[in-house]
Each structure stands twice: as C-alpha cells, then as structure tokens.
C-alpha cells in the first residue's frame, strides 16, 4: 500500500511539474524525483505529528470522560444559535453598508458629473460673453467715433477709415433699427452727402444706437456676473457634497472590512462549533468503543506511516547511490526531453483572441439589426445609441466604484494584516520574555526557600544549643549552691565544736513524731560521741572549706555572667534571624506574587496571541475572498475602460453621421477634426 501511494504521488507530482518554469524543467530528472520523495517524507512526518496531536487530544477526552463532554455539548448548543444570529445580523449590516457605499459612489459620481457639466457650460458662457463684449466694444467705439466725426464736420475723413466699414456692417446687422433710419445711415456711409438737418438726424440715430448697445452690454455683463456667482456657489456646494460622500465612503469601507473579517471569524467559529458538537455527541454515544477504535487506528496508522517512511528512505537511498546516478546519466534522456512544454506566444495570442471574439454585446447586435432594416427610423436609432451610451457609462461607473471598493478594501485589509502580524510577533516576544522572567523568579524563589529553610534550621540549632547551655547553667548553679550549703553547714558545725563564738545556731528544730515518742518513753535523742578537740587541725580544714566556698562562689558568678551574655547573644541572634526571616518571607511572597502575575500575563498574552492569530487567519481569508472578487476587474480594468471608451466614441460617431455630419477627415499630425456640413 505504501509503495502504491508513493507511485501515485509521483505520478501526480509529475503532472504538476508540467506547469513549472523552464529553469525547473532543465534540472536533473532524478534529482527532481529525489526532491519529490524528500518532500513526501516531510509531508508524511508532518501528517504524523498532526495526527499525534489529534490523537493525544482524543485520548484526553477518553480520560476526562462523560462530564467534560456533556459540558462541552451544552456550551456548543448554546453558542451555535447565538453565532448564527450574530452572523445573520452581520451579513445584513454588510448588505446595508455595501448599498450605502454604492449609493454614496453614485451620488458622488453624479455630483462630479454635474460639476464637469457646469464647468463646460460656464466656459461656453464665458467665451460667448467675451466674444459679445469684444464685438460690442468695437461697435460702440465705431458709433462713438462716427458721431464725433459728424458733429465736427469731419464725416468725409471718417468715411475713409475702417470704422466706417465696421459701422456699415453693424447697421446692416441691427434688427432694432427701422428701415428708414437704416437707409439714411447707409446712404450717408455710402456717399457722405446730406443736408445739415439730415446729418443731425443721423447723429441722433447713431447716439440712440450707442445707448442701446451700451445698455445691452451692461445687461450682458450683469448676466455674466450672475452666472459666475451661481457657478461658484454650485461648485462650492458640490465640492462639499463630494467631500462628505468621500468621507462617508471611507468610513463605511473601514467598517465593511472589519465586519467582513468578523463574519469570517464567526462562520469559522460556527463551523468549528458545529463540528465539535457533532463529534462530542457521537463520541459521547459510544465513548469506550471510540477510544478503543481510536487506539487501534492510531497504532495501525503509526505502523503504516513507519513502513511508508522506510519505503521512501530506501527509495531515496537507491536513487542517490553513486552507481545508480552514474547509470542514470548513461540511460536517461536529457532533461529537456523529460517533459515537453512548448507553449508559443503565437498560440497564446490565438487563444486569447478566440476568447475575446467569443465576447459580444447583444445590444450592439440589436443596434446593427435596426440599422440594417429597410424602414429605418433615425430618431429611434439615435435613441438606441443614447441609451447604449448611457448603459456603457453606467457600466464604466460600476467598474470605477468596484475598483475604488477593491483598492480601498485591499489597503485596509493589508494594513490590518500587517498590524496583526506585528501584534502576534510582539505577543510572542512578550510571552518569551515572560517565560524567561518566570524561570528567573522560580530560581530566585527556590533560593529564598532554601535560605529560609537554612535560617530556620540555624534558629532551631541555636535554640537547642541555648537550652542545653541554660540546662548546664541551671545544673551548675544547683550543684554549686548545694555544695556551698553543705560546706557552710560543715564549717558551721566545725565552728560549733572548735570555735563556738563563730557558731551560728540553726533554727529550732521541729521534733518529729518519732522524736516525741522517744522522749515520752523516757529516752534521749542521739548526740555526737565525745572526742578530744584538735584545734590546729580543725583550723586547716575550715580554711580549706573557706577556699572551696570561695572557688564555688567565683565559679557561680562567672557562670551567671556567661549565662547572661549567652542569653543576650541568643536573643540578638533570634531578633536578627526573625527580621531576616520576615524580610525573606516578604520577598518570597512578593516574588511568588510577581511570578503568579507574570504567569497570568503569559496566559493572557497566549490567549490574546491565539485570538490574534485567529483574527489574522480570518483577515487572510478575507483577503483571499477579495482576490476572488476583485482580481479579474483590477487586471482588466484598463482594458475594459479603453474598450468601452472606444465603443462610446464609435456610437457618438455613428450618431453624428446619422445627425448629418460630414466625416471627411482633416488630418493634422495625429489629430482628426470633423467639419460639419450646414
């Protein structure tokens, strides 16, 4: 089975290699096979690692048992409907946002068109006024000059000037002059003769003409000023409208991009939740059997994968053998004949042309049919042309809007993707830094705990030693005190016998019951036996007793001093130890708290990183969907725009021909000018 899978993958890979670049095709074919086998090894190993993780997770379910599964099922059943509701709400909002964006784009395009049309009209009005003013200024100047010349009796000189010809043309073109006045002025301009009263009438007519022309020019200037004001107001309003619409488009585009990513995340979450719910229910239904089956399946897969890896390794070893490579050099054809992939540019052009020719517009076909009909209604055809131009312009506007949407969405999504990647990287660094901090704190905590343990041990040992020393002191004081008492008693007893004056009588002795009974029976209490006094010898003994008592007193005094100092040292040591332990304990608590907080921060960063990675994956998926939605338009936008512009130009040309234009082309350089025929 493993060898069959190997051969199958080799076959598939060979087919895939047919689409690779020429550089790959010229490589050693055996080396490519080895590379493919090595890639298969990595893939099989990666599959094994992934399956091992899934297996461990599965077996974790087996160990946790029914309680964890029941809880997971309940949570999934509650989460699913909520996610579905959120997705539906999000998709409705996406639809609304897209509609709003499209409406904003349409309104903005209309505003820009209105601005362009207003600008064209304003330019025409300005040119018309400039021409009118130029003619009016020339005519008024001619009338004024003629009137002055006639009044000064210099009519003959005026008639010889160019102004007379201007005035003659003006009089002939004026519609608001009666025929009599026109004839009088024309006659005057023709021969310069006439009676004085007639000359006065002519100057009157000329002055009236001048007044009329000045009035007309003033009215035209007023209309021009009004047009300029209206134009400026319109352009300001439209500019503000375009700005507001553009801002609305940008804001809705941002919200649209974010919402689409959220919907992708929610759909993936819903899909994962649904799958997990089904798996949990199925798993819970037959927990023991599933666990046993999974164990068998995992063992079988592990064994099979091991066999496959061995087969791949053996195959690679065979192909990499020096003798085999030498044999392949002699027996295999050249790499260029390993696969023939010669796709000529001519063939590509032929295929592209065939695809392009397959595309047609039904509207143009209908228009051609209309023109080919026997009974052609030019008005109907012109209307069809106008409608077709409007359709093409609307299509172009749709492409413009779509291109703007795609470009902005790509920019927003790419910016978000880069931001998320930076956030994932920063979180990874923070996690790594936190883990290092936790490890350092763990070492410090361990050292503090060891220090506190050692301190406690030292305190215990010092306390035990102090107890022993105090016990020895107490025992010494008791024994020395008893010895002093005995020696004092002995000395006093000796003094009673040898030095009665120095004798100190003991307190009156209380008779015991036994003594009272002896006396009542007529007996006597025991007394010491009589012996001869030896004063000199007794003095030596008493002196020795005094020396011994003195030594004991000195020893007890020194012992008390030593005990006092030892107790003070002990108490000081205990105080220092207690302070150090308090400091170490507080430091330990602080570090444990810091470690706990750092661990919590690591956990939070890990969760945040997981969520950010999930958002990043959703963003990448959103970018993929944008590619599917936009790549074709962005790739062919200019081609479509140019083709559509050509179609519009052709339709306008056809309309001009049908409207009576003469398209004898006057070529100047690369420009073509159309001459209209009256």
Lookup: tokens for 313: 């390794």
**Span of 226-230, 253-257, 489-493, 637-641 with lowest mean pLDDT:** 489-493
Give the pLDDT score at 227. Answer: 92
Q: Which residues contact 326 (CB under 8 A, 6 or more apart)?
A: none
Segment 59-113, tens digit of pLDDT: 776 776 667 777 888 888 888 899 899 999 988 988 998 899 889 989 999 999 9
Task: Give the CB-side neighbour count of residue 571, counting CA atoms within 13 A.
Answer: 6
Give the pLDDT score at 280. Answer: 75
Q: How far apart are CA 448 and CA 584, in angstroms?
A: 7
**Are the C-beta atoms of residues 543 and 488 closer than 8 Å to each other?**
no
Cα 316 off chain centre by: 44
Strand, helix or coil at 21? coil
Give the pLDDT score at 237. Answer: 94
User: Does the pLDDT value for residue 528 go beyond 70?
Assistant: no
Helix %, strand %, coil % of the chain (to 5)? 85, 0, 10
User: Does the pLDDT value for residue 358 go beyond 50?
Assistant: no
Q: Between 665 and 434, whose confidence is greater?
A: 434
**Are the C-beta atoms of residues 27 and 335 closer than 8 Å to each other?**
yes
Q: How far apart are CA 310 and CA 41, in angstroms?
A: 9
- How big is the chain, counted in residues? 678
Give the pLDDT score at 658. Answer: 62
Q: How far apart are CA 155 and CA 101, in angstroms?
A: 73
Q: What does each C-alpha distance from 673 to 107, 153, 606, 663, 667 come to in angstroms?
A: 35, 51, 71, 9, 7
Give the pLDDT score at 244. Answer: 93
Segment 565-602, tens digit of pLDDT: 999 999 999 999 899 889 988 998 998 889 898 899 99
Query: Each residue of 64-78: b (16+ CB within 10 Å) or e?
Result: eeeeebeebbeebee
Enter the DSSP assignment of 660. Answer: T
Q: Please report which confidence band the pLDDT of residue 7 belongs to, taking 50, 70 and 90 as the band edges.
A: very low
Give the pLDDT score at 226. Answer: 93
Q: Between 564 and 161, whose confidence is greater?
A: 564
Task: Over range 238-258, report the average pLDDT.
Answer: 90
For 224-259, the DSSP string reads: HHHHHHHHHHHHHHHHHHHHHHHHHHHHHHHHHHHH
Q: What is the pTM of this model?
A: 0.46
**Span of 105-109, 156-160, 327-331, 410-414 with lowest mean pLDDT:** 327-331
Span between the terminal Cα atoms of the chain, in Å: 88
Phi-psi region of 325 (alpha: psi -120 to 50; beta: other; left: phi over 0): alpha
H, E, C per residue of 263-287: HHHHHHHHHHHHHHHHHHHHHHHCH
Segment 272-303, tens digit of pLDDT: 888 888 887 777 777 777 777 878 888 888 88
Task: Over range 158-177, report the average pLDDT.
Answer: 67
**Closest to 17 in 3D by CA, of 319, 338, 316:** 338
**Are the C-beta atoms of residues 365 and 388 closer than 8 Å to each other?**
no
Q: How far apart are CA 139 and CA 170, in angstroms?
A: 7
Strand partners, 534: none
Farthest-apart Cα atoms in the chain, separation? 210
Segment 472-506, tens digit of pLDDT: 999 988 888 888 888 888 778 777 777 787 777 76
User: Does the pLDDT value for residue 540 go beyond 80?
Assistant: no
Q: Is 245 exposed, middle or buried (0-12, 13-18, 19+ CB in 10 A)?
A: buried
Strand, helix or coil at 668? strand
Count CB-CB contacts under 10 A for residue 413.
21
Query: Each residue of 416-443: b (16+ CB within 10 Å) or e?
Result: bbeebeebbeebeebbeebeebbeebee
Count CB-CB contacts under 10 A for residue 253.
21
User: Does the pLDDT value for residue 452 go beyond 50?
Assistant: yes
Task: Over range 206-233, report the average pLDDT.
Answer: 88
Just give the CATH number of 397-503+537-658.
1.10.287
Query: Each residue of 613-646: b (16+ CB within 10 Å) or e?
Result: bebbebbbbbbeebeeebeeeeeebeeeeeebee
Q: Is 194 exposed, middle or buried (0-12, 13-18, 19+ CB in 10 A)?
A: middle
Query: Each residue of 459-486: b (16+ CB within 10 Å) or e?
Result: beeeeeebeeeeeebeebeeebeebbee
Lookup: tokens for 261: 């990513």
Where exactly are the structural domains of the chain?
Answer: 79-276, 397-503+537-658
Give the pLDDT score at 407. Answer: 86
Q: How far apart are CA 76 and CA 281, in angstroms?
A: 11
Segment 130-152, tens digit of pLDDT: 998 888 888 888 778 777 777 66
């Amino acid at each position: 089975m493993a060898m069959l899978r190997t051969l199958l993958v080799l076959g598939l890979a060979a087919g895939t290699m047919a689409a690779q670049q020429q550089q790959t095709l010229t490589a050693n074919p055996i080396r490519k096979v080895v590379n493919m086998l090595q890639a298969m090894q990595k893939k099989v190993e990666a599959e094994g690692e992934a399956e091992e993780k899934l297996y461990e997770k599965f077996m974790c379910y087996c160990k946790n048992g029914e309680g964890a599964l029941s809880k997971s099922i309940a949570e999934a059943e509650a989460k699913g409907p909520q996610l579905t509701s959120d997705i539906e709400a999000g998709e409705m909002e996406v639809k609304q946002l897209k509609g709003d964006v499209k409406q904003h784009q349409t309104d903005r395009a209309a505003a820009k068109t209105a601005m362009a049309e207003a600008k064209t009209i304003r330019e025409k009005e300005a040119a018309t006024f400039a021409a009118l003013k130029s003619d009016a200024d020339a005519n008024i100047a001619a009338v004024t000059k003629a009137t002055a010349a006639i009044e000064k009796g210099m009519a003959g000189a005026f008639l010889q000037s160019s102004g007379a010809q201007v005035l003659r043309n003006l009089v002939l073109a004026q519609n608001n002059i009666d025929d009599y006045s026109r004839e009088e002025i024309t006659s005057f301009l023709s021969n310069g003769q006439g009676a004085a009263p007639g000359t006065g009438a002519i100057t009157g007519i000329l002055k009236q003409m001048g007044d009329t022309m000045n009035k007309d020019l003033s009215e035209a200037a007023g209309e021009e000023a009004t047009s300029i004001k209206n134009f400026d107001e319109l352009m300001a309003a439209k500019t503000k409208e375009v700005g507001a619409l553009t801002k609305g488009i940008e804001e809705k585009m941002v919200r649209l991009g974010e919402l689409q990513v959220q919907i992708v995340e929610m759909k993936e979450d819903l899909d994962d939740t649904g799958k997990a719910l089904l798996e949990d229910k199925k798993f819970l239904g037959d927990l023991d059997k599933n666990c046993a089956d999974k164990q068998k399946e995992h063992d079988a897969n592990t064994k099979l994968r091991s066999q496959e890896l061995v087969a791949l390794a053996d195959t690679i070893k065979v192909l990499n053998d020096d003798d085999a490579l030498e044999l392949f050099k002699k027996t295999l054809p050249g790499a260029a004949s390993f696969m023939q992939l010669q796709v000529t540019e001519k063939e590509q052009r032929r295929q592209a042309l065939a695809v392009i020719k397959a595309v047609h517009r039904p509207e143009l076909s209908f228009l051609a049919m209309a023109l080919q009909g026997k009974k052609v209604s030019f008005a109907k055809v012109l209307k069809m042309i106008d409608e077709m131009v409007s359709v093409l312009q609307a299509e172009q506007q749709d492409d413009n809007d779509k291109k703007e949407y795609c470009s902005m969405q790509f920019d927003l999504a790419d910016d978000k993707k880069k931001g998320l990647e930076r956030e994932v990287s920063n979180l990874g660094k923070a996690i790594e830094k936190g883990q290092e901090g936790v490890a350092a704190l763990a070492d410090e905590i361990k050292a503090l705990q060891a220090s506190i343990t050692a301190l406690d041990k030292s305190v215990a040992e010092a306390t035990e030693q102090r107890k022993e020393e105090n016990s020895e002191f107490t025992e010494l004081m008791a024994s020395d005190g008893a010895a002093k008492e005995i020696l004092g008693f002995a000395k006093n007893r000796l003094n009673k016998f040898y030095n009665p004056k120095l004798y100190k009588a003991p307190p009156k002795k209380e008779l015991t019951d036994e003594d009272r009974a002896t006396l009542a029976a007529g007996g006597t209490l025991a007394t010491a036996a009589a012996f001869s006094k030896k004063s000199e010898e007794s003095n030596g003994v008493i002196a020795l007793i005094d020396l011994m008592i003195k030594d004991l007193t000195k020893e007890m005094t020194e012992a008390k001093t030593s005990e006092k100092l030892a107790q003070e040292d002990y108490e000081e040591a205990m105080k220092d130890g207690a302070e150090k332990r308090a400091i170490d304990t507080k430091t330990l608590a602080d570090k444990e708290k810091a470690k706990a907080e750092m661990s919590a921060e690591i956990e939070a960063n890990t969760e945040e990183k997981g969520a950010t990675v999930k958002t990043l994956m959703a963003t990448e998926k959103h970018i993929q969907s944008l590619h599917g939605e936009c790549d074709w338009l962005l790739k062919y936008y200019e081609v479509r725009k140019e083709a559509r512009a050509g179609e519009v130009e052709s339709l306008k040309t056809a309309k001009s021909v049908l409207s009576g234009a003469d398209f004898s082309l006057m070529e100047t350089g690369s420009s073509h000018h159309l001459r209209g025929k009256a």
